[in-house]
Amino acid sequence: MTAPTDREKLAFTFASDSCKQVLTLSTTILSFTIAFRKDIAGDTFPFDELFLWISWLLLALAILAGVAAYLSLTGVVGKADEALDIYSGSVTGKAGIQMGAFALGLVSLAVFGVLALTGPSPAADDPTGSCTIEAPATGTCTLP
């Protein structure tokens, strides 16, 4: 085995840093949105909140895939008898899942944010009555 070139070392450093950045962002966004769920999703329709739950699942998947990708990077660097290959399937597959899940999680969170900010709250028509949701885009409120 030949010693890794500076370019290979730099590639692994960038891959490792990217993985850690997305892992940190995913964990922070997931923690923040769960901690402030009542404030974020207080009076939204259940259909709207579905996008929040989807974003949580995707961000959790990004966290798991990020840890797996980081461990794969460590494993590739730790192999003493083989040349460094940043493009090995064990690294690129997991890193791709991490990046894709993170991007889709952000999109789902953005859709939830738009729906939550632009849609009326279920109790907007009658704050003293009870409200039922009949369809994702409509709701009815009745007086007690």
Domain locations in the chain as residue ranges: 6-142
Q: Compute the mean pLDDT over every residue in the chain, rounded to the nearest whole number.
A: 82
Burial 31-43 (b: 16+ CB within 10 A, else e): eebeeeeeebbee
Taking a C-beta distance cutoff of 8 angstroms, is the pair 107, 50 a contact? no
What pLDDT shows up at residue 141?
A: 55
More confident residue, 94 or 2: 94
DSSP for 77-121 reads HH-SSS---TT-HHHHHHHHHHHHHHHHHHHHHHHHHHHHHHSPP
Model confidence over 50-84: pLDDT tens digits?
Answer: 999 999 999 999 999 999 999 988 888 877 666 77
What pLDDT shows up at residue 39?
A: 82
* pTM, 2 dp: 0.76
What pLDDT shows up at residue 19?
A: 93
Which candidate, 4, 30, 42, 19, places its Cα nearest to that of 109? 30
More confident residue, 142 or 62: 62
- Map residue 138 onto helix, strand or coil: strand
Model confidence over 118-139: pLDDT tens digits?
Answer: 876 555 554 555 555 655 556 5
Taking a C-beta distance cutoff of 8 angstroms, is the pair 129, 141 a contact? yes
The backbone torsions φ and ψ at residue 44, rounded to the nearest 5 degrees and listed phi first, read -95, 160
Task: Provide the percentage of residues in the chain whose pLDDT is more than 70.
Answer: 80
Helices 46-78 and 89-118, packing angle to 10 deg: 160
∠ CA 139-141-46 to the nearest 5 degrees? 40
Radius of gyration of the chain (CA): 22
What pLDDT shows up at residue 122?
A: 53
